Amino acid sequence: MGDGIPMDKIRNLSVRKTILLYMAVALICSYILSAFIVGIASQTQMFIWWNYVDKEAFIKEVESKGQYSVTNIPRPNRYEMTKSDCFVTELCDFLETYTILILSMAGSCAAVFLFYRNKLKNPIEELALASKKIAGNNLDFNITYESNDEMGVLCMEFERMREQLARNNRILWKNIEEEKLLRAAIAHDIRSPLSVLKGYQEMLTEYLPSADIDMEQAMEMLSESRRQIERMDTFVETMRKMSSLENREPAADKISAGQLETDIRAEITILEKEYGKKCILLVPKSDEIFCGDKEIVLEVTENLLSNALRYCKNQVEIMVNVEYSELSINVSDDGEGFKEDAEKITEAFYGQNAKDSLKHAGIGMYISRLYCEKHGGKLVLENDEQGGAVVTAIFRRIV
**pLDDT, tens only, 88-98:** 989 999 999 99
Name the strands in the sheet holding 378-383, side by side, starting at the edge strand that comes first in the sequence: 278-282, 315-322, 326-333, 389-396, 378-383
Between 154-158, 221-225, 266-270, the lowest mean confidence (pLDDT) is in 221-225
pLDDT of residue 330: 94
188 with 235: CB under 8 angstroms?
A: no
Judge whether residue 15 has pLDDT over 80.
yes
Specify the long-range contacts of residues 379-382, CB closer than 8 Å, at least 24 apart: 379/342, 379/346, 380/342, 381/338, 381/342, 381/345, 381/346, 382/338
Q: Is a pLDDT exceeding 80 seen at residue 350?
A: no
Q: Is the pLDDT of residue 394 over 90?
A: yes
- Which whole number is the average pLDDT over 124-129? 89
Average pLDDT over residues 172-191: 70
pLDDT at 110 (0 to 100): 93
The pLDDT value given to residue 232: 72
* 378-383/389-396 β-pairing: antiparallel
- In this prediction, residues 363-381 reach a mean pLDDT of 84
Amino acid letter, 151: M
Q: How wide is the angle at C-alpha 397 spanned by C-alphas 391 and 399, nearest 5°?
A: 150
Mean pLDDT of the chain: 80
Strands 378-383 and 278-282 turn out to be unpaired
* pLDDT higher than 80, residue 188: no
pLDDT at 213 over 70: no
pLDDT, position 177? 76
Cα–Cα distance measured from residue 331 to residue 6, given in angstroms and rounded to the nearest whole number: 63
Number of Cβ within a 10 Å radius of residue 133: 14
The per-residue pLDDT for 373 is 87
The burial class, CB within 10 Å (0-12 / 13-18 / 19+), for 232 is: middle
Q: What is the longest distance spanned by two Cα atoms in the chain? A: 156
Whether the predicted pLDDT of 28 surpasses 50: yes
Higher-confidence residue of 358 and 64: namely 64
Confidence label for 344 from pLDDT (cuts 50, 70 and 90): low
DSSP strand pairing (278-282 vs 326-333): unpaired
What is the Cα–Cα distance from 219 to 291, expressed in whole angstroms? 54
| CB neighbour class for 355 (10 Å; exposed up to 12, middle 13-18, buried from 19) | exposed
pLDDT band at 282 (very low <50, low <70, confident <90, very high): very high
- Provide the whole-model pTM: 0.47
User: Are the C-beta atoms of residues 337 and 312 closer than 8 Å to each other?
Assistant: no
Which of 236-245, 270-279, 320-329 has the largest mean confidence?
A: 320-329
With cut-offs at 50, 70 and 90, classify the pLDDT of residue 347: low
Q: Which of 178-187, 344-353, 376-385 has the lowest mean pLDDT?
A: 344-353
Percent of the chain with pLDDT over 90: 21
